[in-house]
Chains A and B, each alone.
Chain A
Amino acid sequence: MFSAIRSGTVCGIGSHLVQVEVDLSKGLPCFQMVGLLSSEVREARERVRVALKNSGITLPPMCINVNLSPADLRKEGTMFDLPVAVGILICLGRISQDSAADTIFLGELGLNGEVKPVRGVLPIVTKAKESGLRRCILPKDNAMEGAVVGGIEMIGVASIAEAAAYLQGVEEGKEGLIAPVRIDVESLWEEREEQTPDLADISGQEAVKRAIEVAAAGFHHLLMIGPPGSGKTMLAKRIPSILPPLSLQESLEVSAVYSVSGLLHTSREILITKRPFLNPHHTITGQALAGGGRVPVPGIVSLSHRGILFLDELPEFKRETLDILRQPLEDRVVQIARSSGVYVFPADFMLVGAMNPCPCGYYPDMARCRCTPYEVRRYLGRISGPILDRIDICVEAMPLQFREIERSRTGESSARIRERVLRARQMQTDRFQGGNLRFNADMGAVDVERFCRLGTGERKYMERMFRAMHLSARGYHRILKVARTIADLAGEAAIREEHLAEAICYRQVNAKYE
């Protein structure tokens, strides 16, 4: 008695389909599982045996062999419990092999026979659909997540008995025993609510707000420097509100990352509809930041894909931890090499850093600052050069004056700023059409020369600035990139002197502290 049914496993944020083959034969009673299994897959034996027993099916004293094919692919996760159990039921003749045709099974079993949610449903279902499978039997809690893919029937089951009953129904021609879960993604997308705090909540800090606007428009990484309590965190949290809304395509990318991290069904969301905002504590390890583990799972940088990675108290992060950011900042992906292969996770985020200007936080207010010039310099020196090099915009947040708090002059609303950002983004889309650049921040030295041409007057101006401000070649390019974004925000085709001047104001921090 032999059966073969389909299931799948996650690998990075991609997935592979797996065939679960079960054979029951006479011989000494045993239950063996093979096929390069990690321990949580191997433990399926115990869960399946007990879950079947508690569902009223006692395994006969036979030799049970389970093979997960392809046998040279490492299998991870708990989603094989349900397919193994169903395979055994087929071998026992309780369900016909035909009823499981073109169907993929996913699910973890509890000892009482219930089916529990698993992670990575979204990528596996996507793969199943691409391979032409028609139906997916999966945990009830994951059904919505899988339904997003569309074009494949999602049957959510709560227990192994329910799955068996459904399949028996299929055999008898009663297809609709459990209604497939359907989601109209388009209308779901339309109805999504976007509730992010508004920039208008913050009074004052006009300079920082403007810098944030420029950063958002050109996807420039941003560093905010300011004394404690100047509202750096509050400002950072409001950046998503001025970024363009997440598109459906982007949402699917982000949701896939959250799905393999097992965060999608726990957050009771069907899709990630808001731009991610992640705010890891400075004690975070490099592994947690970049992703890792024996079986790599996405790290914070991947969870902030298409969103904001906010690092508060930047110099407090360990240097090695920050250095890990170099690859994602450069390539917008994280590669994690393991003996089982190289795992690639997306990591296209906007880095927003915040820090105090010195250990005590009050420099350059010398009446309060207790730090020596050496300490101030060393504090900035804790952030490695290569990371600072990727940060185009640097701005200082002021200590809040009582007048500002009192006056509560509400600033511009996020919606209005977003309109300008969208317009600037549109200009960038038009400019980079056909190329592989998306935003001004992505431009390399060659692209800067091509896309940031200066007029004669502006070139003269920059020549003066170059000497007066002791700019480096890299700093010069950075200023041009930011000036391009500022010109885009103003809706101008050419970069003008005032755009350059503003970009110079945002230049790098170590160039400013003497």
Chain B
Amino acid sequence: MVGDMTEKETEKAYIHWLYQAAGMGSRTFLRDLEQVGTARAVYEMAARGVLADRLQDRYRKKGGKLQNAVKDYDVIGRYEEMTARGISMVTCREEGYPRRLAAIQDAPYVLYYAGSLPDEERHCVAVIGARSCTEYGKAMAKEFGAVLARAGILVISGMARGIDGIGQSAALEAGGYSMGVLGCGVDICYPSENRALYERLLAQGGVCSEYPPGTAPKAVLFPPRNRIISGLCDGLLVIEAKERSGTLITVDMALEQGREVYAVPGRVTDALSAGCNKLIRQGAGLVAAPEEFLEDLQAETAGNTGRFLSGRQLSFQIEGTQMEGTQKELLKLLDFQPSSMEALQEAYEDAYGRSIGIPKLCHTLVQLCVDGYAGQIGGSYYLKRRT
């Protein structure tokens, strides 16, 4: 059986064993183990029960654990089983390990992935933000995800609820590449509601994780994966974040790793924009429109190999194509934040000096929704959407 595999693959199978057996949080231990020999050598020592004695005193216990983990473990079989499922692994000592990620401190020793890894020649941007986001945030994530993808930029994110998932979905929708960095095994779709996105990432992009397949999502696993998100990208774009949030932890990591940080501003009164506004105050790039953002990125990476397509002009103004008077009037009153039917009724009266009845209002709003100018949220809230 071993004959079928190259030397390198066989070694990887042993690394896979070692990685699972050593458990999470053993990065230093694994590096130190390299002093002892190859993973295969470690395995053989463990199988003979002599490993623990060869290690420094502080690793005795871990060595014992490895010796126990040898039992009933089919190294090659398990590795082949994994690759047969479409899951690959790459170690930081190997060619093919993402170069950007390799450069960070504390890079994961092994990266498991399904689908493909991001193209090293292309520019990567992480689009991140709050899980529980506003309609404004959703609209922005969608917009930026799509624009970046169309400009040929790879979108990295955490496949989480809210901004992450929406931005990635939009990028894939626009025909781009996206990579989801998971806090669980790559064979597990978490959160399960992002199943469609997960499937699409496997087909059109990729998912990766530093945890072995089968690792269940746990709260403690998620903060460390944020360093991989920022590590994989050249720049980080924050769409929406509260003042104290996980998103800002990712930003801190990105800054440590020397990545550019950009943020989409929001209203001063919005709790979910407080984080972004604070970042801007601290010097993050203010991104008000995707094409500006693309220019900034280009300037930042001048001389770099990053390849850009032309950014599409973003137009928040609606072209008044064959719209009747009331529709136009009403559209002017709509905002990216949802407004209630009552509020619209009142605003209409204030703006135009005449009142509009509920039936007429309903009729016009439904028309705007169907034409894609507006959206209905909940029962009686409406907001502006781009066409």
Whether B342 contacts A205 by the Cβ 8 Å rule is yes
Residues of B within 8 A of A499 (CB): 359
Whether A469 contacts B342 by the Cβ 8 Å rule is no
Whether B380 contacts A367 by the Cβ 8 Å rule is no
Whether B359 contacts A468 by the Cβ 8 Å rule is no
Please report the C-alpha to C-alpha distance between residue A117 and residue B143 in the assembled complex, in whole angstroms.
74
- A63 close to B (CB within 8 Å): no
Residues of A within 8 A of B272 (CB): 366-367
Inter-chain contact count A-B, CB under 8 Å? 100
Q: How far is the CB of A381 from chain B (nearest CB, A)?
A: 13
- Which residue on chain A has the smallest CB distance to residue B274? A367
Query: Which residues of A173-214 have CB atoms within 8 Å of chain B's CB atoms?
Result: 204-207, 210
The verdict on A207 contacting B342 (CB below 8 Å), with A366-B272, A501-B366 known, is yes
- B218 close to A (CB within 8 Å): no
- A31 close to B (CB within 8 Å): no
Which among B133, B343, B359 is the interface contact of A502 at CB below 8 angstroms? B359
Please report the C-alpha to C-alpha distance between residue A206 and residue B355 in the assembled complex, in whole angstroms.
12
Query: Which residues of B315-372 have CB atoms within 8 Å of chain A's CB atoms?
Result: 338, 340-343, 345-346, 358-360, 362-363, 365-367, 369-370
Interface residues on B, range: 35 or more
Whether B378 contacts A225 by the Cβ 8 Å rule is yes
Whether B161 contacts A398 by the Cβ 8 Å rule is no
Residues of A within 8 A of B162 (CB): 373
- A319 close to B (CB within 8 Å): no
- Which residue on chain A has the smallest CB distance to residue B383? A364
Which among B132, B346, B367, B377 is the interface contact of A373 at CB below 8 angstroms? B132
Whether B378 contacts A372 by the Cβ 8 Å rule is no
The verdict on A398 contacting B342 (CB below 8 Å), with A374-B161, A464-B370, A512-B378 known, is yes
Query: Which residues of B234-289 have CB atoms within 8 Å of chain A's CB atoms?
Result: 269-272
Residues of A within 8 A of B131 (CB): 372-373
Please report the C-alpha to C-alpha distance between residue A501 and residue B366 in the assembled complex, in whole angstroms.
6
- A465 close to B (CB within 8 Å): yes
Which among B134, B191, B359, B379 is the interface contact of A394 at CB below 8 angstroms? B379
Please report the C-alpha to C-alpha distance between residue A225 and residue B341 in the assembled complex, in whole angstroms.
14
Of B135, B340, B343, B346, most buried by chain A (CB within 10 Å of CB) is B340
Which among A372, A395, A464 is the interface contact of B161 at CB below 8 angstroms? A372
Whether A395 contacts B379 by the Cβ 8 Å rule is yes
- B376 close to A (CB within 8 Å): yes
Please report the C-alpha to C-alpha distance between residue A205 and residue B381 in the assembled complex, in whole angstroms.
13
- A337 close to B (CB within 8 Å): no
Whether A501 contacts B161 by the Cβ 8 Å rule is no
Interface string of A477-491 (1 = CB under 8 A from B): 000000000100000
Q: How far is the CB of A425 from chain B (nearest CB, A)?
A: 19
Whether B363 contacts A398 by the Cβ 8 Å rule is no
Residues of A within 8 A of B271 (CB): 366-367
Please report the C-alpha to C-alpha distance between residue A366 and residue B131 in the assembled complex, in whole angstroms.
11
Please report the C-alpha to C-alpha distance between residue A102 and residue B362 in the assembled complex, in whole angstroms.
65
Q: How far is the CB of A480 from chain B (nearest CB, A)?
A: 15
Whether B358 contacts A206 by the Cβ 8 Å rule is yes
Residues of A within 8 A of B376 (CB): 505, 512
Q: How far is the CB of A224 from chain B (nearest CB, A)?
A: 9
The verdict on A505 contacting B380 (CB below 8 Å), with A206-B345, A367-B271 known, is yes
- Which residue on chain B has the smallest CB distance to residue A508? B379
Residues of A within 8 A of B132 (CB): 366, 369, 371-373
Interface string of A439-467 (1 = CB under 8 A from B): 00000000000000000000000001100
Residues of A within 8 A of B161 (CB): 372-374
Whether A468 contacts B377 by the Cβ 8 Å rule is no
Residues of A within 8 A of B133 (CB): 366
- A363 close to B (CB within 8 Å): yes
- Which residue on chain A has the smallest CB distance to residue B338? A364
Whether A398 contacts B343 by the Cβ 8 Å rule is yes
Query: Which residues of B76-93 have CB atoms within 8 Å of chain A's CB atoms?
Result: none
Residues of A within 8 A of B269 (CB): 367
Please report the C-alpha to C-alpha distance between residue A469 and residue B191 in the assembled complex, in whole angstroms.
26
Please report the C-alpha to C-alpha distance between residue A372 and residue B162 in the assembled complex, in whole angstroms.
9
Residues of B within 8 A of A364 (CB): 135, 338, 377-378, 381
Which among A204, A395, A501, A513 is the interface contact of B380 at CB below 8 angstroms? A395
- A396 close to B (CB within 8 Å): yes
The verdict on A374 contacting B358 (CB below 8 Å), with A398-B343, A505-B365, A513-B378 known, is no
Whether B370 contacts A465 by the Cβ 8 Å rule is yes
Residues of A within 8 A of B360 (CB): 498
- B193 close to A (CB within 8 Å): yes
Residues of B within 8 A of A394 (CB): 379
Query: Which residues of B105-147 have CB atoms within 8 Å of chain A's CB atoms?
Result: 131-135
Whether A367 contacts B270 by the Cβ 8 Å rule is yes
Whether B366 contacts A505 by the Cβ 8 Å rule is yes
Residues of A within 8 A of B369 (CB): 468-469
Which among B134, B191, B367, B379 is the interface contact of A366 at CB below 8 angstroms? B134
Query: Which residues of A349-403 have CB atoms within 8 Å of chain B's CB atoms?
Result: 357, 363-364, 366-367, 369, 371-374, 394-396, 398, 401, 403
Q: How far is the CB of B251 from chain A (nearest CB, A)?
A: 21
Residues of B within 8 A of A486 (CB): 359
Whether A398 contacts B359 by the Cβ 8 Å rule is no
Of B135, B343, B358, most buried by chain A (CB within 10 Å of CB) is B358
Please report the C-alpha to C-alpha distance between residue A403 and residue B132 in the assembled complex, in whole angstroms.
30
- Which residue on chain A has the smallest CB distance to residue B377? A364
Which among A374, A469, A498, A501 is the interface contact of B193 at CB below 8 angstroms? A374
Q: How far is the CB of B225 from chain A (nearest CB, A)?
A: 19
- Which residue on chain A has the smallest CB distance to residue B269? A367
Please report the C-alpha to C-alpha distance between residue A465 and residue B365 in the assembled complex, in whole angstroms.
13
Please report the C-alpha to C-alpha distance between residue A498 and residue B272 in the assembled complex, in whole angstroms.
37
Residues of A within 8 A of B358 (CB): 206-207, 210, 502
User: Please, could you name 29 A-B residue pairs with CB atoms under 8 Å apart, sorted by A?
Assistant: A204-B342, A205-B342, A206-B341, A206-B358, A210-B358, A225-B378, A363-B378, A364-B135, A364-B338, A364-B377, A364-B378, A366-B271, A366-B272, A367-B270, A372-B131, A373-B132, A373-B161, A394-B379, A395-B380, A396-B380, A398-B341, A469-B369, A486-B359, A501-B366, A502-B359, A504-B366, A505-B362, A505-B376, A512-B377
- Kindly list 4 other residue pairs between chains A and B, CB separation below 8 angstroms, not including A367-B271, A396-B378: A366-B271, A372-B131, A398-B340, A504-B366
6 closest A-B pairs by CB? A396-B379, A501-B363, A366-B134, A396-B380, A505-B362, A502-B362
Seen from chain B, the residues whose Cβ lies within 8 Å of a Cβ on chain A are: 131-135, 161-162, 191, 193, 269-272, 338, 340-343, 345-346, 358-360, 362-363, 365-367, 369-370, 376-381
Seen from chain A, the residues whose Cβ lies within 8 Å of a Cβ on chain B are: 204-207, 210, 225, 357, 363-364, 366-367, 369, 371-374, 394-396, 398, 401, 403-404, 464-465, 468-469, 486, 497-499, 501-502, 504-505, 509, 512-514
